[in-house]
């Protein structure tokens, strides 16, 4: 079996499948953790939930993850 790539397929870099698998695994873990974080954030008894830096950053992460989910749904639809 030859490992040489055809010259015509140079427009896209070949991503190794093991990298893609690991990448999707990590993304999945981040999504699960973000959901757990969202639950914690909505039930937290932080005295300064609106000014607390940890709560603010947690919210920012959840907002970005929501954007990521929205975007991936758009891509899947085509």
Binding mask 21-50 for Zn ion (x = CB under 5 A): -------------------------x----
Q: With respect to Zn ion, which residue has the nearer C-beta, 27 or 54? A: 54
Interface pick for Zn ion out of 26, 33, 52, 71 (rule CB under 5 A): 52
| Whole-number Cα distances in Å, 49 to 42, 46, 55, 59 | 10, 5, 6, 10
Does 62 contact Zn ion by CB under 5 A?
Answer: no
In angstroms, rounded to a whole number, what is the distance separating the alpha carbons of residues 52 and 46? Answer: 8
Cβ 76 to Zn ion, closest distance in Å? 35
Give the tokens for residue 78: 């085509």
């Amino acid at each position: 079996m030859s490992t040489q790539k055809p010259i015509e397929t140079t427009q896209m870099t070949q991503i190794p499948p093991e990298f893609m698998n690991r990448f999707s695994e990590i993304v999945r873990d981040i999504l699960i953790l973000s959901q757990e974080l969202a639950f914690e954030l909505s039930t937290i008894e932080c005295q300064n939930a609106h000014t607390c830096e940890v709560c603010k950053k947690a919210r920012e992460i959840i907002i970005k993850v929501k954007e990521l989910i929205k975007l991936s749904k758009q891509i899947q639809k085509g």
